[in-house]
Chains A and B, each alone.
Chain A
Amino acid sequence: MAKIFRTHILVSIDPETLLSGAKGIYEKFKKEVEASKLSNEVMVAETGNLGISNKGVVVVVYPEGVIYVNVKADDVTKIMNEHIIKGRIVKDLVFSGEKVSGSSVKMELPKQNRVVLKGSGEVDPESLEEYIGIGGYEGLGKVLFEMKPQDVIDAVKKSGLRGRGGAGFPTGLKWSFTAPLQGEKYVICNADEGEPGTFKDRLIMEGVPFRLIEGMTIAGYAIGASKGFIYIRGEYALSIEKVNKAIETARKNNLLGKNILESTFSFDIEVRKGAGAYVCGEETSLIESMEGKRGNPRNKPPFPGVKGFRMNPSVVNNVETLANVPAIAVNGADWYKKLGTEKCPGTKVFTLMGDILYPGLIEVEMGTTLKDVVYKFGGGIKEGKKFKAALIGGAAGAFISEKGLDVKMDFDSLGEWAAVLGSGAVLVMSEDRDPVETLNSILEFFKHESCGKCSPCRIGTKRLELISKDIMKGRATEGDWETMKELSYTMKLTSFCPLGQSPYIPISSFSKYLEDDMKKNLNK
């Protein structure tokens, strides 16, 4: 049993806080705790990203759940003396946004219903005991000893879980294509997370890596795979470290490897480092890249579920998708279906960015309106400005103006607004911002990320970027804007993979919701 401490000091360690000196703060807390002879009472631990960005080093103190931000070396002594020893919260360092869930302190923002992020920022990501303490591995136990693989697939099917990698493909259905196939099969976790600004998958991997491992193991059991791969974006050094540590711990505890928990099921997981290109997040490019080839997409069909890695059947799922699986296993499909909407059950992690008061991650139920996401969970627009537009779903996402604030954030409802949920990135633009600039950076992004395989995308993205530059320089005509729209439509029809098909989404939604803003920039 893990030792019980009076107080936990959790220092958030992620690439961003590391740059702000989080390691130094962590060491200083340890030293001070020892110096104060509190080692038996107070535990200092690292934790993953807390979903708060742009706030320097972030520290949470439990049981109160107080979040300190912008913590500097001098503040450590202050927090120790005031909070830890005297029990007085250091008010000027307290984060004014939402507290992490489970906090006993009064919430200033609505509570999030966390499924995949549950425990992130609270538990020590390296501690298996703590993960078990919040219900971890209950799902795998139940699956291995009470369910047949087909039962697991049925449950996931019934739960209505849909892929969180962007396309929203029903997960149970995907598994059911691969399950009956013979031979070596794989579960591949897509942790390439190439969407600019998005870091939900990172948070899961750095905050509760065991949840991902448990989810993958259940997936492996369901489809009859003996091997899993997690393809992690190369820049995510900390995620790679945390996931690797968790895999090792799981192996040591018979939660991975031969005869898991003494059952007849064997499964192991290996981490693969991503090659760094956005298109490598597309499942067939990802597989090509895993095979050591240039990360260009493959033709589909055959789909990876039939011929994937090394031409063997491979289920590719996003991190967040897999992290939903343990909870479904424990609580059942009916419980899951109560969350979210009928066609899109469950929760969704959104990355809030841009001119929003509290940028960072939120996990809310599917179907939450854009208005609630922005105003309730995101704290509204910075400096009380007016909402101008949002870009939902990342670069391959759609623009929506204030006309669309009531849209429900789930796969289907957004589709009705000619928008997409995509990776769940929400870039909020205030009245001070010209969305044309955002469109321009998206088109630069596509030009940069085209893999170059097919002519419509390779040349088309370059053309779009050229026209966009003209727009930015005020020398484009209405005709150029028309060309842009038509060209992106041809690219949607003829590009080999979804990357080249995507610029149509931001461009057509821009035209639909923000045409006047474009007009202002034309015929100057």
Chain B
Amino acid sequence: MIKELTLYIDGIEVKVPEGVTILEAAKKVSVEIPTLCYYKDLTPTGNCGICVVEVEGVGTLKRACCTPATDKMKIHTNTKQVLDARKTVMELILSNHPNDCLQCYRNQNCELQTMAEKLGVTELPFKRFDRDMPLDDKGFIIRDSNKCILCGRCIQACQNIQTVYAIDFINRGYDTKMSTFMDMPLNDSTCTNCGQCVAVCPVGALYEKSSIDEVWAAINDPTKHVVVQEAPAVRVAIGEEFGMAEGTVSSGRMHTALRRMGFDRVFDTNFTADLTIMEEGTEVIGKVIKALTTGEIGKHLPVITSCSPGWIKFMETFFADLREHISTAKSPQQMFGPLAKTYYAEKEKIDPKNIVSVSIMPCTAKKYEAARPEMNASGYQDVDHVLTTREFAKMIRQSGIDFKNLPEEEADELMGFYTGAATIFGATGGVMEAALRTVWFVLSGKEMDNYDIKLVRGMDGVKEGVVEVPLSEANAKALNMKVLPVKVAVAHGLSNARKLLTKVATQLKEKGASEYHFIEIMACPGGCVGGGGQPYACEYAARARRADGLYKEDKEMVKVRASHNNPMVQKIYKDFLGEPNSHKAHKLLHTKYVDRSDLV
């Protein structure tokens, strides 16, 4: 039995179960205690000292975020002493902060700025003193330690949610800073570029290397033909930057905005997501059949998805031995890249050297992926510039577009037509679900009665189960069974991936085979909807609402729901690629992985 406590917050009686903090109790009676370092999905640390309140009978102020409520506690949240103390603490923080808000990446979208205003800071009584620490801008995630307020959120994201441990506090006292082992550039560390640290940073201390200027330059260069693709998860989050609810489906508005911004062709990553299913699905089916017919289960299975570049670097670093098990199919972004500069270039008779290929992604790791040296199957860098959802929003604002009230337009068909299977790629379990729809069709010769595969949906860290696929007569004969039970698992967030992969590696080592046939892994919690390039303040609940938007588009808004039924996908195989996993497809759409275990 959990004890019920009665306490008094600013004289208001509130009853809460034991274990609740003062902050949570206050929320119950509409008392909003200001916080700065606190983040809903992380463990409260009490680092900033803003959420202090008076507790009767205690000499010092207590931190509401991490002080458990006790029975009969009498709390005052807005006495003069409390308000003065909070303001002084904020003034202290600001005395050690560059305060160059006008030039900052986070201007108008900064929790420090907002909180300073909330606490009534109108002047800076303490003389400023600078920390003068160099900028770490070697990689795609930029680290400006001078702006860091040492809230510790990024470290928790990296260590607890992602188990990468690329960053930690180093030094002590005034010299404390968030950094890497030996204070190396982030780019030289085990960092996966997942950007979960960036997503939770309250200030401009962590941000993506921007490509906005390069993209504007390309658009404004008359000799360049600029094509753009947008990942599934972008469409259900971009609206948040313009006052719309999480999960609002903005595919149409997004396409319209891109046309108005001046892109020459507005395609959609969803198209190559469908293509990914064809390539990856074919690979999975081939391997399952090989495994079952040769009996060498552990050699061919499981097949693990490869769309998430943060996950790929994580795998190359911590699970390099599993490289053989990762699908060789490129991610949708990297399938789009070479096809734009070959297939599309041929069709439109454009010299590929004049094509500039831009992608809009919910992800910071996609910038890294596009820059991987092997990603030049077209003879050029396949994807030239990657923008995050946040950068996209900035560009919309710069263009003077009233995003919320835009009319809705379709993407250009050739590489822009997509199915519901593609759109759910953006949610954890989506790739698995999309692949199963097609695998089912190929193996059984029939469409699924119900496309919704609920067992791979939702926010549980690791989801697993068996999907019983009925086999067509020919397949039944070849495999000597009527129904193929496909054991699948889905993990999102690298800590969950680590758990699942450790199990798989152990099973492979000890038993020579793992229990799973097919595994989907996404680096970010929630899948791409929770990507490190999405609008800030994306708590788990918000990630789930974004995913709901994708399932809604799949179920209610698109004409086709399975990748193999995408007419433009059928067309590209007919006109250009031949068949899935053909020689040409292999050359353009498949890749290899690198052993990075020496980083550890």
Contact = CB atoms under 8 A, between A and B. Distances in A.
Interface of A: 277, 294, 299, 301, 447-456, 458-463, 466, 483, 486-487, 490, 492-496, 501
B172 interface: yes
B173 A493 contact: no
Interface string B161-189: 00000001101111110000000000000
Interface of B: 44-49, 52, 60-61, 63, 66-68, 81, 84-86, 88-89, 92-93, 95-96, 125-127, 129, 149-150, 168-169, 171-176
A294 B170 CA distance: 9
B52 A455 contact: no
Nearest to A301: B68
A494 B52 CA distance: 7
A47 to B, nearest CB: 36
A462 B85 CA distance: 18
| A-B pairs, 10 with minimum CB distance | A452-B176, A450-B173, A490-B88, A462-B174, A459-B92, A494-B49, A299-B66, A493-B61, A456-B49, A452-B173
Given A466-B129, A494-B61, A496-B47, A452 B88 contact: no
Given A450-B174, A459-B96, 10 more contacts: A277-B172, A452-B150, A452-B174, A452-B175, A455-B49, A455-B149, A456-B49, A460-B92, A462-B96, A487-B88
Nearest to B90: A455
Contacts of A496: 46-47, 49, 63
A449 B173 contact: yes
- Name the prevailing secondary structure of the A interface residues: helix
A454 B49 CA distance: 7
A450 B172 contact: yes
Given A492-B60, A496-B46, A455 B175 contact: no
A455 B36 CA distance: 11
B38 to A, nearest CB: 13
Contacts of A493: 52, 60-61, 81, 85
A458 B97 CA distance: 13
Contacts of A490: 84-85, 88-89
Contacts of B95: 459, 463
A452 B89 contact: no
Contacts of B66: 299
Contacts of A462: 96, 129, 173-174
A501 B46 contact: no
A265 to B, nearest CB: 34
Contacts of B175: 452
A326 B96 CA distance: 51
Contacts of A458: 150, 173-174, 176
A453 B391 CA distance: 32
Given A450-B173, A458-B150, A494-B52, A299 B61 contact: no
B60 A463 contact: no
Interface of B is mostly: loop
A292 to B, nearest CB: 13
A403 to B, nearest CB: 25
Contacts of A450: 172-174
Contacts of A486: 88
A373 B89 CA distance: 40
A133 B48 CA distance: 55
B149 A451 contact: no
B49 A463 contact: no
Contact of A461 (B85, B125, B129, B174): B174
B32 to A, nearest CB: 19
A492 B89 CA distance: 11
Contacts of A466: 127, 129
Given A455-B92, A463-B95, A493-B81, A447 B174 contact: yes
Contact of B173 (A301, A461, A463): A461
Contacts of B67: 299, 301
B461 to A, nearest CB: 22
Contact of B47 (A301, A453, A460, A463): A453
A278 to B, nearest CB: 10
Contacts of A487: 88, 92
Residue of B66, B89, B129, B176 with most partner-chain A CB within 10 A: B89
Contacts of A447: 173-174
B93 A459 contact: yes
Contacts of A461: 173-174
A154 to B, nearest CB: 27
Contacts of B172: 277, 450-452
A460 B129 CA distance: 12
A459 B174 contact: yes
Contacts of B85: 490, 493-494
B126 A495 contact: no
A461 to B, nearest CB: 7
A483 B91 CA distance: 13
Contacts of B125: 483
Contact of A463 (B81, B86, B92): B92
Contacts of B89: 455-456, 490, 494
A334 B285 CA distance: 84
A495 B88 CA distance: 12
A179 to B, nearest CB: 22
Contact of B92 (A449, A456, A492, A501): A456
A301 B149 CA distance: 25
A149 to B, nearest CB: 28
Pick the most buried of B47, B66, B92, B93: most chain A CB atoms within 10 A of its CB: B92
Contacts of B68: 301
Contacts of A459: 92-93, 95-96, 174
Most chain A CB atoms below 10 A, which of B96, B149, B174: B174
Of residues B67, B81, B172, B173, which shows the largest number of chain A Cβ atoms within 10 Å of its Cβ?
A: B173
A277 B127 CA distance: 29
Nearest to B70: A301
Contacts of A492: 60
Contacts of B88: 486-487, 490, 494
Nearest to A279: B172
Nearest to B92: A459
A461 B174 CA distance: 8
A490 B92 CA distance: 10
A402 B49 CA distance: 38
